Structure 1
């Protein structure tokens, strides 16, 4: 995998967000893990910055893999997934897009979203 040395949970999911560099990279991550929460963000976005510690906690404490996509660096990827505002979170389950949520989400909301696909 193209990630740096990343520690993993007991279920084999990374405990830190994976920064995505393009469609092939995202496809690889979605293919490698059962549940992937993908955070489409921008550095200039205030709500995205508020979401950052939440997605880091989700990565560390749940069975979901968290992927981060900088929409400014990956505009084509953002277009492919219909991202019109940030933050947008796209949840993949078993290789398929399962959910899409736009806007700042609380940790509890994200945990229950993930639990629908990890139990």
Structure 2
């Protein structure tokens, strides 16, 4: 007998995950980072979710790579939406938010920038920051 889950089992599991990740306003918080491809993508995320943590990163950046697993865990475990902005692909967006070094994290609360952090931060520090605005 196969140990692989059936399509129905997977579907039921995903439905349960969605139920658990729905916030009070009925908006589903993504369990994976949102990859931002344009200023409109970022504006849409900030408008849709109460708390958004934006990770401005570069593929060539060692500290950014160190932070990536933490960012993915926060997306799965917190009630904030997590967005990732590649500064090389979105130079205008990075300039708009004053990114001078990567990684830079920008926390939006209720549609407004609330906190700016530069450098690698611990998961606990970031989770505490998110919780303070939830």
Which of residues 1, 22, 35 in structure 2 aligns to 1:10? 22
> What does residue range 1-119 of structure 1 map to in structure 2 within 5 Å?
8=18, 9-11=21-23, 12-118=28-134
Secondary structure of residue in 1 paired with 2:32: coil
Distance in 2 (alpha carbons) for counterparts of 1:78 and 1:10: 30
Which one has the bigger helix percentage?
2
Larger Rg: 2
Where in structure 1 do 4 or more consecutive aligned residues deviate above 2 Å? Answer: none
**TM-score of the two chains, using structure 2 as the length reference:** 0.81
Secondary structure of residue in 1 paired with 2:54: strand
Count, aligned residues:
112
Distance in 2 (alpha carbons) for counterparts of 1:61 and 1:25: 22
- Quote the RMSD (CA, aligned, Å): 1.0
Distance in 2 (alpha carbons) for counterparts of 1:10 and 1:79: 33
**TM-score of the two chains, using structure 1 as the length reference:** 0.91
- Choose between structure 1 and 2 for higher RCO, CA contacts under 8 A separated by at least 6 residues: 1
